[in-house]
Structure 1
Amino acid sequence: MIDLQIRPAAPDDVEAVLAFWKESAEGTSVSDDVDGVTRLVERDPDALILALADGVVVGSVIAGWDGWRASLYRLAVLPPYRRRGISTALLRAAEERFRALGGRRADAMVLEANETGRALWTAAGYHREERWRRWVKPLAAPAAGEHRVITG
């Protein structure tokens, strides 16, 4: 059993979170940069929940709440730490946050090609809703020569 700490991210964690996502998360987001993650942490200090082992980020989930919807993004665990209950602990913390804020249902963004992620979400009691599809519109053009996959 590992000694796991679950806590909200702090501004000092931004660089470590970005490095962690590069190694552990599926896909990339238009907000995967220092400015994007800093803005999230400053706007809603409890939304980005981290799992740490010996001070190292080994898991994350974004539990976004807008007063109406409870949305989950970026559930990821460092590969050597998978299958140890870390994602379960992160989801428990996120769901507790949502309940305390009055959330009635949690929605998760899951890449279609992420078979491991889909299995995890199913095991956690989530199901895919066939009637909904995500529609997106980038609000800022990528920098010259930059190509991004928009996932969350």
Structure 2
Amino acid sequence: MSDLHIRCADLTDIEAVLQFWREAAEGTSISDDYDGVARLISRDPEALLLAEGDGSLAGTVIAGFDGWRCSAYRLAVHPSCRRQGIATALMEAAEQRFIALGGRRVDAMVLEANEPAHHTWAAADYHREDHWRRWVKPL
């Protein structure tokens, strides 16, 4: 990608982001709707990072920090743009954000069945912690 630019999403990006996730992201979340993304952007305007290049959305990551933990969600790169360093650029931007906020460690949510994602995260020096499991309760 010749002109990759990473920026924070704003409320005008929500529909494009939701469409992008339907095409490029694995799995869905209970928050994958207009209201969920609007709440994210309104609460933390710098959390949703977008990678744009050649005039279109090429990738996303949510770099959330609650004052205690740094969490990465929705790292996704459009299938036609993969293997061009976009995920690496997004995670570097997320990590710089976390460092600036005083974060100490990044937790990433990665689907168990998404083998290509496992390789992406491992290549970025992340490792799996098998002694933890996620417990959830929809509200």
Provide TM-score, normalisation by structure 1. Answer: 0.90
Runs of 5+ unmatched residues, structure 2: none
Provide the rounded CA distance (Å) in 2 between the counterparts of 1:68 and 1:54: 36
How do residues 27-66 of structure 1 correspond to structure 2 at under 5 angstroms? 27-66=27-66
Provide the rounded CA distance (Å) in 2 between the counterparts of 1:119 and 1:10: 30
The residue aligned with 2:19 is 19
The DSSP-based 3-state class of the residue aligned with 2:131 is coil
Q: Which structure has the bigger radius of gyration?
A: 1
Following TM superposition, where does structure 1 have runs of at least 4 consecutive aligned residues deviating by more than 2 angstroms?
none
Q: CA RMSD in A?
A: 0.7
The answer to whether residue 121 in structure 2 is matched with residue 126 in structure 1 is no
The DSSP-based 3-state class of the residue aligned with 1:128 is coil
Alpha-carbon shift at residue 106 of structure 1 (Å): 0.3
Provide the rounded CA distance (Å) in 1 between the counterparts of 2:34 and 2:138: 19
Q: Percent identity?
A: 68
The residue aligned with 1:149 is none
The residue aligned with 1:143 is none
Residue type matched to 1:128 in 2? R
Residue type matched to 1:55 in 2? G
Alpha-carbon shift at residue 40 of structure 1 (Å): 0.5
Runs of 5+ unmatched residues, structure 1: 140-152
The residue aligned with 1:71 is 71
Provide TM-score, normalisation by structure 2. Answer: 0.98
The DSSP-based 3-state class of the residue aligned with 1:135 is coil
Greater Cα offset, 28-37 or 48-57: 48-57
The DSSP-based 3-state class of the residue aligned with 1:73 is strand
Residue type matched to 1:129 in 2? E
Provide the rounded CA distance (Å) in 1 between the counterparts of 2:74 and 2:45: 16
| Matched residue count | 139
Provide the rounded CA distance (Å) in 1 between the counterparts of 2:52 and 2:12: 14
The DSSP-based 3-state class of the residue aligned with 1:83 is coil
Provide the rounded CA distance (Å) in 1 between the counterparts of 2:54 and 2:43: 27
Provide the rounded CA distance (Å) in 1 between the counterparts of 2:53 and 2:20: 13
Residue type matched to 2:106 in 1? A
Query: CA-to-partner distance for each residue in 1:12-70, whole Å, 9 max, x for gaps?
Result: 10000000000000000001111110110111000000001133211000000000000
Residue type matched to 1:49 in 2? L
